[in-house]
Amino acid sequence: MVVRNLIFWLSTKRSVTNSIARRGMKLGFARRFVAGETLAEALAASRELCQQGRNVSLNHLGENVSTEAAAREVCASYIEMIEEMHAKNLAGNISIKLTQLGLDLSKDLCTSLADSIARRARNLGRTIEMDMEGSAYTDATLDIFEAVQRESGNTGLAIQAYLHRTEKDLQRLAPLKPKIRLVKGAYREPKKIALQGKAAVDANYKRLTTLLLEGAAQGIFLPAIASHDPFMVAHAQLEVARLKLPKDRYEFQMIYGIRRDLQQEVHAAGHTLQVYVPFGTDWCPYFMRRLSERPANCWFVLRSLLAESNQQAPRQRIA
Ligand SMILES: Cc1cc2nc3c(=O)[nH]c(=O)nc-3n(C[C@H](O)[C@H](O)[C@H](O)COP(=O)(O)OP(=O)(O)OC[C@H]3O[C@@H](n4cnc5c(N)ncnc54)[C@H](O)[C@@H]3O)c2cc1C
């Protein structure tokens, strides 16, 4: 837990993330979780996944922009992403982060940018999904999601099982018949608002999975079970069988590069699997959150760094 918290804390420090970012792509260790720095690289990785029968959700990495011009630029890049996916006939959608669309600057600006992305996607017959960020943004994200979904009807939302409020939020969202991506939650949140410890979060995740899948059987939700935890996946599979849910009423989601063995199993069992494919130059905070989820991942980073220093040793002697 101490290591997790330390890595998570480091992920919020720009000087640390910048120094890792200078090396990560060059050395290749970031490529395990990040499809590349450019849209072209992300589309190439997506094509491969789609050829294997997966859907993808493209995410342009970055969070918390500080100018309106930057927010508009991100908006244009999201629209380009969905158009390129469409042109290349790739199955899936895009995932957007609202703080990348100016949520810190103005809720109205953010709503109108998110709305324009959803409208462009709808015109192409596509969907979008909204990520859920730290708890400071939960209320605003729900409000913006509701506004956009009412207008376009093609938007999904990530909901975090560790928050005490989540069941109430689902009741609030039910009339919109939304796609809900159920995640455990990736941020560090205080006891007052979030469950602490894996056992408590897992128990709530299972309970909410059942609630969402039962809702799917009644035509209320389109649940996406987004977890790499084999116990969460097994629970969802049992509930899908119990409820005799048709394949188009639910899906599983996992992140690019994580538990590829489980991804293969879920796909082979005949379920729809959507892979979240992040790309972009601002990949470091995201990458470090993935490390903090599983400190064992630090080993392959260390191995890459050691390999580099071994390769550099002879060159340094020559110089
Ligand atoms: C598609 C998708 C979208 C997401 N979107 C959001 C979002 O919008 N907002 C948000 O707060 N969170 C999001 N998350 C992250 C989520 O909240 C969790 O932090 C993350 O999925 C880890 O939880 P877990 O359910 O996989 O289970 P855990 O209990 O964390 O892990 C279970 C097992 O999964 C494997 N595993 C988990 N993480 C890793 C890793 N990094 N590297 C290697 N193995 C790993 C390990 O085998 C581990 O034992 C998303 C997750 C997914 C899958």
Could you tell me the pLDDT band of residue 62, with boundaries at 50, 70 and 90?
confident
User: How far is ligand 1, taken at its centre, from the CA of residue 70, in Å?
Assistant: 28
314 pLDDT exceeds 50? no
Q: How far apart are CA 29 and CA 302, in angstroms?
A: 9
Contact 81, 128 (CB under 8 A): no
Q: What are the distances in angstroms from CA 235 to CA 143, 159, 208, 245?
A: 31, 18, 11, 14
The secondary structure of 21-70 as a DSSP string is: HHHHHHHSGGGGT---SSHHHHHHHHHHHHHTT-EEEEEE------SHHH
User: How far is ligand 1, taken at its centre, from the CA of residue 142, in Å?
Assistant: 21
CATH annotation of 35-282: 3.20.20.220
310 pLDDT exceeds 70? no
Residues 6+ apart with CB under 8 A from 168: none
Average pLDDT, the chain: 88
Could you tell me the pLDDT band of residue 60, with boundaries at 50, 70 and 90?
very high
pLDDT at residue number 258? 87
pLDDT at residue number 64? 82
Please indicate whether residue 258, judged by its CB atom, sits closer than 6 Å to ligand 1: yes
Contact 95, 130 (CB under 8 A): yes
The secondary structure of 60-120 as a DSSP string is: E------SHHHHHHHHHHHHHHHHHHHHTT-SEEEEE-GGGGTTTT-HHHHHHHHHHHHHH
pLDDT at residue number 6? 62
Please indicate whether residue 294, judged by its CB atom, sits closer than 6 Å to ligand 1: yes
Could you tell me the pLDDT band of residue 282, with boundaries at 50, 70 and 90?
confident
Could you tell me the pLDDT band of residue 318, with boundaries at 50, 70 and 90?
very low
285 exposure class (CB count in 10 Å sphere: 0-12, 13-18, 19+): buried
122 pLDDT exceeds 50? yes
Could you tell me the pLDDT band of residue 8, with boundaries at 50, 70 and 90?
low
Contact 250, 235 (CB under 8 A): no
Please indicate whether residue 288, judged by its CB atom, sits closer than 6 Å to ligand 1: no
Give the residue numbers annotated as catalytic, written as ranges.
131, 181
